[in-house]
A and B are shown apart, each in its own frame.
Chain A
């Protein structure tokens, strides 16, 4: 299957600072990527759809000014958590697919801890 790489795998940051998470499709081009957030013992909640060359589409309740998404190339999407607070501590995970009715490939996830 295809490979999606996410970096960093773990990050600890101070409250009020910003953190950038990268998601790369290593062996295929992805015009669309997805960002999910997963709190402990909970499901994956879709945050936004990252569209190459255009603005991201955010799910209801997700603050677009707090979670900045940039999809500048067909192989890279970034999620920046701005002015992070302890309640933003979570497991963030991206996915990409070939499109259509096909398998979604997930990155390794990023464990964000805001102290």
Chain B
């Protein structure tokens, strides 16, 4: 079945440094890749997404890259701030026919130290 692998599971950086989280997916038909930030006990919040016809997308301090051939995509956060501390999930839109079924990675707990 569809699978999304995410690494690392935990990431600790100093404030101002960059953070990179990587994901791989198994379903070559996947064509939409969102990234979510989730704070404890709350719903996931979309922070950035990318579609398969694009290789890179940037929104201020956040960027996502996609390599469809290798089935890899990555989240890059620059100039990290303590408020970036949270759990981050990558996801891939799985299933045929654009059913909207998202398959999530295992999550990365990011800690930004002041």
Contacts and interface: CB of A to CB of B under 8 A. Distances in A.
Interface stretch (B11-19, B42-50, B57-65, B76-84): B42-50
Interface residues of B, number: 23
B102 A109 contact: no
B106 A104 contact: no
B100 interface: yes
Contact of A104 (B31, B34, B41): B34
A2 to B, nearest CB: 11
A103 B44 contact: no
Contacts of B51: 101
Interface residues on A, range: 20 to 34
A95 interface: yes
B86 interface: no
Contacts of B105: 43
Given A32-B100, A101-B51, A43 B89 contact: yes
B46 A103 contact: yes
Given A43-B107, A107-B43, A101 B101 contact: no
- From A43, A95, A108, A111, name the one whose CB has the most chain B CB atoms within 10 angstroms: A43
Contacts of B103: 46
Nearest to B106: A43
